[in-house]
Chains A and B, each alone.
Chain A
Amino acid sequence: MTASVRKQIVDAAIARLNASPPSGIPTADDTRLESYTPEELPAMTVLELREEAETEKEGRWSYFVKRTFTMRVETRIAETLATSARNTMDPIYVWIGQQLGGQQFGGLAEDCYEALLEWQYAAEDQPYTLLQLDFRVLYSTLKVDPTRTQ
């Protein structure tokens, strides 16, 4: 069965993130639910978060559903000092932004942009930092078929 356009977009996003990342940039996991051990960090995972949809009004009836999908990219790092976390996280953030910002994923999406960034911190046996980067992905599908954009 053909995959939904949304799944194709997520798959394409992960493929872009994992396409020859520079040294020090982790490859992206697809919706990892298991915890990372400190030795596995830095680590990145891509999650589907939410989607809102509405009919694309063009008259009394429309063939299309206009969708706004939130795709989250989470990055976790460990540092020897919390003060150096920003230096470690920044190149990873830049890579994610360059790979996903403004992407149309081969015509699947109309736009993709950073909508919300949140940081979380934890002091345990060493300092850990989490960056949650939410991308808003705009796309449309046929009302009668979520696998087709037209």
Chain B
Amino acid sequence: MLTGFYGDADIPMLMSDFGVAVAIAGYSPTVPLIGIVDYEGKDVLVSQGAGGVSGTDITVWIQTSTLPPNLRNKTLMTVDGKSMRIRDQNQQGDGALTKILCEVVK
């Protein structure tokens, strides 16, 4: 059966092609974490059609089964060497992938 999402067994192959190193504060996995990161521009705080702010959605896709249990938002993480903070997380499709929304820590 064809599905619109990747199954758990397919994800490591996908990650090996596009993945970057991910580290989550306080979590030491047996296998290094890998995630696929997207930076997508998004205008926010627009009012009356006047100038808003050119923001960026930073999304990291990680295999759900590799994440620590009870991962909380606001946890610090490093994505491809950059310091980030989790601001939201949602499982996608069959739940095998988790989309983590991040903000940059300066």
Interface Cβ pair total, 8 Å cutoff: 78
Complex Cα spacing A36 to B47, Å: 13
Contact A80 B43 (CB under 8 A): no
Interface string of A71-84 (1 = CB under 8 A from B): 01010101010000
Whether the pair A35, B87 counts as a contact (CB closer than 8 A) is no
Distance (whole angstroms) from the CB of B42 to the closest CB of chain A: 6
Query: Do A36 and B50 have beta carbons less than 8 Å apart?
Result: no
B49 contacts the other chain (Cβ, under 8 Å)?
yes
Known A-B contacts A124-B42, A125-B58; the reply to A32 vs B103 at CB < 8 A is no
Interface residues on B, range: 20 to 34
B48:A47 contact, CB within 8 angstroms = yes
- Stretch in contact with the other chain, from A7-15, A37-45, A87-95, A100-108: A37-45
Given the complex, which residues of A lie within 8 Å of B53, measured CB to CB?
Answer: 35-38, 41, 76, 78, 122, 124, 128
Q: In the bound complex, do residue A126 and residue B52 qualify as a contact, i.e. CB atoms below 8 Å apart?
A: no
A2 within 8 A of B: no
Q: Assign chain A's interface to a size class.
A: 20 to 34
- Complex CA distance for A33 and B46, rounded to whole angstroms: 9
Contact B104 A125 (CB under 8 A): yes
- Choose one: B46, B57, B105, B106; the contact of A35 (CB below 8 Å): B46
Query: Knowing A45-B50, A125-B57 touch, does A130 contact B45 (C-beta < 8 A)?
Result: yes
Top 9 closest pairs, chain A to chain B, by CB: A124-B55, A122-B44, A125-B56, A130-B45, A32-B51, A35-B54, A80-B106, A35-B52, A35-B51
